[in-house]
Amino acid sequence: MAKKTIRTIPQERTAMPVQEPRERVCNFSEVALGYSVANALNEAERCILCPQQPCVEGCPVQIDIPGFIQKICVQNFRGAYDVLTEANLLPAICGRVCPQESQCEQVCVVGDHLEPVAIGRLERFVGDMAVSEGWANEPEFDPNGRRVAIVGAGPAGIACAADMAKAGCEVVIYEALHRPGGVLSYGIPEFRLPNAIVDDEFGKVIQLGVTVECNTLVGRLFTIEELRDELGFDAVFIGTGAGYPSFMGIPGESLNGVLSANEFLTRCNLMQAGEFPRKDTPLHMGRKVAVIGSGNTAMDAMRVSLRLGAEEVHCLYRRTRTESPARVEEVDHAEEEGVTFHWLTAPVEILDDGDSNVRALRCIRMELGEPDQSGRRRPVPIEGSEYEFEADMVIYAIGTNANPIMGQTSNLELNKWGYIEADEQQRTSLAGVFAGGDIVTGGATVILAMGAGRRAARSMKAFLGILDPREMAVSDADRPRIFGIDARQRNYRRVRDAA
Amino acid sequence: MYDIVTREDFSGSTFLLEVKHPLLAKAAKPGQFVIVMSQADGERIPLTIADFSVDRGTVTLVIQAVGKTTVEMQQRCVAGSPLYAMVGPMGIPSHISESGKVVCVGGGLGVAPVFPQARAFKDRGAYVIGVIGFRSKDLIFWQDRFEKVCDELIICTDDGSAGIKGLVTDGIHMAIDKHPDIQEVVAIGPPVMMKSCAETTRAREIKTTVSLNPIMVDGTGMCGGCRVSVGGEMRFCCVDGPDFDGHQVDFDELMRRLARFREDERVALERWGRSDSCHLGLAEPAIE
């Protein structure tokens, strides 16, 4: 095979087929339809198999990206799935929700000259094929008798659980809601991540022998310390998420019709309030919706609003489109669907209709001043620029604070913002207790949480004395024996005990 | 699934469910609540824990049938049938202080959840005065339970058919007049009742704790639907409460927020009342 170069590969990035905006805004079906086989083969050809492989380092869970793309090139799709699932059991989910443009695709060598390889779309292509073909990879492992508790069935917890189960541990995930998935279930809407995909890929984690206990509020039903000291778990991972939505503290936030994006999305996604009164949970959708904030959550809330019949949806953000923390694609999609963006605009008061409902917002125009600590230019109000803006529903999507339950119920050390203090190996102040995801970092992304879950799993294995088989570079043929014990047992503790 | 082991009806709209959940029964403390889903498509509704028994491995809930979910539960939930979901105990447990003399006030549905607090105060050695209010004599429940844990029990009825004729605030006045050394009042009931209780004690500067029950979804701090104003600060009832200083709570705001979905609730109840799954043939909404 001739060596591929920037000149020989397809120059154009393969476009993602999407539902037309006018059509999709009337349904909850997926917006991005996914690559066809022809699309995928074309895009896979764009990977030049560079020797540096910066994309692997750019991936929070270090997927062998050139490896799986190479399998696509030779039409070995099952092989591509095998390579992907070595690092990530949830390719169909991550292919959809990872911010690839700031991770693997950002450092792609092809991207120096052309559009980078569409790694995320290829990952989703393989993941979707696995879902439709019913592929599953159940790695062989020997139970090692160790018990691991995972608190929170979101991305961090699922990633940690999968790795610990593959290492041979008995894993129990505790989830407070009645459905597992965390933000994948309650937060990200159907048209961006179908529940069927979440269920299927989460099902593969269950197939590893992981137990999920829903309706279990750890901290209150039993504490972290009790899990470790009384319920017989050798290690605990906390991945409870940030989950305490922020408001601004401006007048009128208690009016009816003002809600957090978390509440709005939970009602719609988890509780299916869009089907009220056929389903029991109400929402009371507004006609003219104002969403404050411009992150991915804001985009989700706005696009759900449109699909639930809002006549107008407005995005209010105090900086500009350039500073918007949402993925470029999400902002584009929202705009195509009819969201009106009000950049450099901040609300100062929510006004009522005399009957405790929202009637309007009083806003102020902003301009960008000097850069702040985050490097973004600080928005400064323009004096005398206040104006009223009609709205009957206001949704806050300006981030979250630390959920206080873990701090209230355990002796875990917290940082000054209330998040759990954890080191770079995800170890907390309590021995055997690890934490990762939004409850450590504050609101971030699904894949960063999964990366933290996997890092936690690695240090959990070290803590439990379980040697990672992939880190044992020993061929089966000349497997050494340590203290007369077969090294395949991969377990320091048993070696230690025997010694 | 969580099995209902006992059901008891206190009136045409108020009923008790005792639900098997040994772990929850062991963990529960006075003042905490649970979130219940009666069925898979159901709403998540917060209910204050009215009693818990480690021996029986059960948690007791007292429910008033006011909306579609609770009316349907009244119809469907019988001993032996399951609840789809029950999670808890949620919220910060009530602070059972060292107060020597306390008044525990319960009105209507609040009578049940104030019981564990009265019992906890009694166990701590406090002198406990119970004030419980009902509309009339035949709606009275748990008088025997309260008598066991209260040094004095004042029953108030709207029509005077039992105890004193008047509201729980009249009962509080009676108690305060008789015992000038009352150090604390705990009041649980409808917001309007808790508001009047707080007003009654404000002038005398008696510490008054109330237990709020706003609209919630998850109950773990994630949605913020349960936010209340306490002393001008926004607090989330589910994780910062549910107990707050009654003199600091903005009850008017709470009542407005509780009416958030009133129209939707009416629609849901009427629709369900007409459906085949409703066995009552509701001609009139069951809302009182």
pLDDT higher than threshold 60 for residue B282: no
Task: Match 């009923």 to its residue by tokens.
Answer: B15
Greater confidence (A175 vs B12) lies with A175
Q: Collect all residues with Cβ–Cβ distance below 8 Å to B137 and sequence separation of at least 6.
A: B157, B159, B161, B162
Contact B268/A at CB under 8 A: yes
Tell me, what's the pLDDT at A489? 46
Tell me, what's the pLDDT at A490? 44
Å between B256 CA and nearest CA of chain A: 7
- Name the band, by pLDDT with cuts 50, 70 and 90, for residue A257: very high
Comparing CB atoms, the residue among A256, A262, A280 nearest residue B260 is: A256
To the nearest whole percent, how much of chain A has pLDDT over 70?
93
Contact A142/B at CB under 8 A: no
pLDDT higher than threshold 90 for residue A278: no
Query: What letter does residue A400 receive in the DSSP assignment?
Result: B
Contact A268/B at CB under 8 A: no
Tell me, what's the pLDDT at B122? 92
- Residue A338: which of A18, A17, A22 has the closest Cα? A22
- Residue B237: which of B16, B12, B35, B29 has the closest Cα? B35
Å between A213 CA and nearest CA of chain B: 11
Tell me, what's the pLDDT at A493? 41
- Over residues A331-353, the pLDDT tens digits come to 999 999 999 999 999 999 999 99
Mean pLDDT, rounded, of chain B: 89
How far apart are alpha carbons A181 and A155 in whole angstroms? 7
Q: Which two tokens stand for residue A223?
A: 């504490």
Tell me, what's the pLDDT at A313? 95
A159 in helix, strand or coil?
Answer: helix
Q: Which two tokens stand for residue B174?
A: 């009676």
**One-letter identity of residue B263:** E
CB pair distance less than 8 Å for B68 and A408: no
How far apart are alpha carbons B11 and B34 in whole angstroms? 23
Instruction: Tally Cβ neighbours within 10 Å of residue A177.
Output: 27
- Name the band, by pLDDT with cuts 50, 70 and 90, for residue A286: confident
Tell me, what's the pLDDT at B278? 64
Dihedral sign, CA of A467, A472, A476, A481? negative
8 A C-beta contact, residue A153 and residue A181: yes
For every residue of chain B, DSSP letters joined together read: -EEEEEEEESSSSEEEEEEE-HHHHHH--TT-EEEEESSTTPPPEEEEEEEEETTTTEEEEEEE--SHHHHHHHHH--TTPEESEEEEEESPPP-----SEEEEEEEGGGHHHHHHHHHHHHHTT-EEEEEEEESSGGG---HHHHHHH-SEEEEEESSSSSSEES-HHHHHHHHHHH-TT--EEEEES-HHHHHHHHHHHHTTT-EEEEE-----SSSSSSS-TTEEEETTEEEEHHHH-SEEETTTB-HHHHHHHHTTTHHHHHHHHHHHHHSTT-SS--SS----
A287 in helix, strand or coil?
Answer: coil
Q: Cβ contacts (< 8 Å) between A403 and chain B: which residues?
A: 220-222, 239
In the stretch 176-215 of chain A, residues with CB closer than 8 A to chain B read 176-178, 186, 214-215
- Over residues B147-157, the pLDDT tens digits come to 999 999 999 99
Contact B191/A at CB under 8 A: no
- Name the band, by pLDDT with cuts 50, 70 and 90, for residue B120: very high
Å between B50 CA and nearest CA of chain A: 17
Query: In whole angstroms, how far apart are CA A160 and each of A20, A145, A457?
Result: 38, 17, 5
Query: What letter does residue A114 receive in the DSSP assignment?
Result: S
- Name the band, by pLDDT with cuts 50, 70 and 90, for residue A267: very high
What's the whole-number mean pLDDT along residues A229-246? Answer: 91
Q: Which of A223, A248, A254 to mutate to test the interface with B (most CBs of B within 10 A)?
A: A254
Å between A81 CA and nearest CA of chain B: 34
Instruction: Tally Cβ neighbours within 10 Å of residue A367.
Output: 13
How many beta-carbon pairs under 8 angstroms link A with B?
A: 130
A397 in helix, strand or coil?
Answer: coil
8 A C-beta contact, residue A64 and residue A87: yes
Tell me, what's the pLDDT at A143? 87
CB pair distance less than 8 Å for B87 and A260: no
A149 in helix, strand or coil?
Answer: strand
Q: In degrees to the nearest 10, what's the CA dihedral of A33, A35, A38, A44?
A: 170
Q: Which of A214, A218, A220 to mutate to test the interface with B (most CBs of B within 10 A)?
A: A220
Contact B236/A at CB under 8 A: yes
Å between B26 CA and nearest CA of chain A: 8
pLDDT higher than threshold 60 for residue A180: yes
Comparing CB atoms, the residue among B88, B225, B240 nearest residue A217 is: B88
- Name the band, by pLDDT with cuts 50, 70 and 90, for residue A495: very low
8 A C-beta contact, residue A35 and residue A121: yes
Contact A251/B at CB under 8 A: no
Contact B18/A at CB under 8 A: no
CB pair distance less than 8 Å for A177 and B218: yes
Mean pLDDT, rounded, of chain A: 87
pLDDT higher than threshold 80 for residue A122: yes
- Over residues B66-107, the pLDDT tens digits come to 888 888 898 888 888 999 999 989 999 998 888 789 999 999
pLDDT higher than threshold 80 for residue A1: no
For every residue of A205-220, DSSP letters joined together read: HHHTT-EEE-S--TTT
- Over residues B256-275, the pLDDT tens digits come to 998 888 888 888 888 888 87
How far apart are alpha carbons A458 and A467 in whole angstroms? 9
- Residue B275: which of B52, B75, B36, B7 has the closest Cα? B75
Backbone dihedral angles phi then psi of residue A384, each to the nearest 5 degrees: 75, 10
How far apart are alpha carbons B209 and B226 in whole angstroms? 18
Name the H helices within A392-445.
Answer: 405-409, 438-441
Tell me whether residue A199 is exposed, middle or buried, using C-beta atoms within 10 angstroms of its C-beta: 0 to 12, 13 to 18, 19 or more: middle
- Name the band, by pLDDT with cuts 50, 70 and 90, for residue A496: very low
- Name the band, by pLDDT with cuts 50, 70 and 90, for residue B286: very low
Contact A252/B at CB under 8 A: no
Q: Which of B220, B239, B272, B276 to mutate to test the interface with A (most CBs of A within 10 A)?
A: B220
8 A C-beta contact, residue B189 and residue B110: yes
- Residue A189: which of A397, A486, A436, A365 has the closest Cα? A397
- Residue A148: which of A222, A226, A237, A220 has the closest Cα? A237
Instruction: Tally Cβ neighbours within 10 Å of residue B26.
Output: 14
Comparing CB atoms, the residue among A176, A260, A277 nearest residue B220 is: A176
Q: Collect all residues with Cβ–Cβ distance below 8 Å to A165 and sequence separation of at least 6.
A: A141, A171, A205, A208, A209, A210
pLDDT higher than threshold 50 for residue A150: yes
Q: Cβ contacts (< 8 Å) between B271 and chain A: which residues?
A: 277
Contact B88/A at CB under 8 A: yes
pLDDT higher than threshold 90 for residue B41: no
Contact A496/B at CB under 8 A: no
pLDDT higher than threshold 60 for residue B285: no
Tell me, what's the pLDDT at B275? 75
Task: Match 């880190």 to its residue by tokens.
Answer: A471
What's the whole-number mean pLDDT along residues A145-159? Answer: 93
- Name the band, by pLDDT with cuts 50, 70 and 90, for residue A208: confident
Give CB contacts under 8 A, 24+ apart, made by B202-206.
B202/B247, B204/B176, B206/B176, B206/B182
Helix (H) or strand (E) holding A261: helix A261-265
Comparing CB atoms, the residue among A253, A277, A284 nearest residue B271 is: A277
How far apart are alpha carbons A456 and A440 in whole angstroms? 12
- Over residues A21-72, the pLDDT tens digits come to 888 988 888 888 999 999 999 999 999 988 889 999 888 778 999 999 999 9
Contact B68/A at CB under 8 A: yes
A192 in helix, strand or coil?
Answer: coil
8 A C-beta contact, residue B34 and residue B46: yes
Cα first-last separation, chain B: 31
Backbone dihedral angles phi then psi of residue A329, each to the nearest 5 degrees: -60, -40
Pick the most confident of A136-145, A367-376, B6-15, B227-236: B227-236
How far apart are alpha carbons A26 and A337 in whole angstroms? 10
Query: What letter does residue A115 receive in the DSSP assignment?
Result: S
**Region of B125 on the Ramachandran plot (φ > 0 left; ψ -120 to 50 alpha; else beta):** left
Q: Cβ contacts (< 8 Å) between B275 and chain A: which residues?
A: none
What's the whole-number mean pLDDT along residues A364-393? Answer: 89
B/e letters for B103-131, b = 16+ CB within 10 Å, e = fewer, are bbbbbbbbbbbbbbbbbbbbeeebbbbbb
Tell me, what's the pLDDT at A248? 93
Greater confidence (A350 vs A323) lies with A350
8 A C-beta contact, residue B168 and residue B197: yes
To the nearest whole percent, how much of chain B has pLDDT over 70?
95
